[in-house]
């Protein structure tokens, strides 16, 4: 579980196809000793499992295996070396829920229809797939690249 509050902005350093999976190395500012193998990190929304961690130059990195469904249902298939990603570590029991509850399990992609700036804010109009629209609560929230929006 996640809150939709971004805790770091990572950068894709390497992408390597591995059969049905794609291995992605992501540079980050998390101290390497705090990145546990098997832990979950939301990467631009999808919950991905750390399979490797280390240091590259002066930055920490972690690696994840991105599966076919994640590649099909998210923007992960557009990630390239240098792509910036919103990162959030998974919640631990007792953590403050400062945002909203976000699962990191992606059901589909929305399309941005319009963006309008007003009064120091931004209104984003989206279109969701018809088969998912009935599951969105009128006063609920969605996540946009891992950021929870009311």
The pLDDT tens digits of the residues spanning 38-48 come to 999 999 999 99
Using pLDDT thresholds of 50, 70 and 90, give the confidence band for residue 93. confident
C-alpha closest to that of 62 among 11, 6, 7, 3: 11
CA distance 68 to 86: 21
pTM recorded for the entire structure: 0.89
The contacts of residue 142 (CB under 8 Å, 6+ apart) are 110, 126, 136, 148, 149
Residue 5 pLDDT level (bands cut at 50, 70, 90):
confident
- The DSSP bridge partners found for residue 125 are 114
pLDDT of amino acid 1 = 77
Termini Cα distance of the chain: 17
Q: Which of 44, 71, 76 is nearest to 148 (CA)?
A: 44
Could you state, in order of their start, the residue ranges of all structural domains in the chain?
Answer: 1-150
Give me the pLDDT at residue 23, please. 98
Average pLDDT over residues 57-75: 94
Mean pLDDT of all residues in 89-95: 84
The C-alpha R_g of the chain, in whole angstroms, comes to: 16
Distance of alpha carbon 113 from alpha carbon 121, whole angstroms:
17
> 11-23, pLDDT tens digit by residue?
999 999 998 899 9
> Is the domain 1-150 a CATH 3.30.70.20 member?
no
Model confidence at 36, pLDDT cuts 50, 70, 90, reads very high
Which parts of 29-100 are beta strand (E)? Answer: 40-43, 47-56, 59-66, 84-89
Instruction: Return the beta strands (E) in the chain as ranges.
Output: 8-18, 21-28, 40-43, 47-56, 59-66, 84-89, 111-118, 121-127, 142-144, 147-149
Q: pLDDT tens digits for 103-146?
A: 888 888 888 999 999 999 988 899 999 998 898 888 777 888 88
Identify the pLDDT of residue 96.
80
């Amino acid at each position: 579980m996640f809150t939709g509050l971004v805790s770091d902005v990572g950068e894709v350093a390497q992408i390597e196809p591995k059969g049905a999976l794609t291995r992605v190395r992501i540079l980050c500012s998390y101290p390497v000793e705090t990145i546990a193998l098997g832990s979950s990190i939301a990467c631009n929304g999808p919950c991905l499992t750390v399979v490797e961690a280390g240091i590259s130059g002066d930055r920490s990195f972690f690696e994840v295996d991105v599966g076919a469904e994640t590649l099909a249902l998210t923007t992960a298939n557009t990630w390239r070396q240098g792509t910036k990603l919103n990162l959030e570590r998974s919640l631990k029991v007792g953590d403050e829920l400062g945002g909203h509850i976000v699962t990191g399990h992606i059901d589909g992609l929305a399309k941005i229809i319009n963006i309008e700036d007003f009064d120091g804010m931004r209104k984003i109009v989206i279109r969701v797939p018809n088969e998912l629209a009935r599951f969105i609560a009128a006063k609920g929230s969605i996540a946009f690249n891992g950021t929870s929006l009311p």
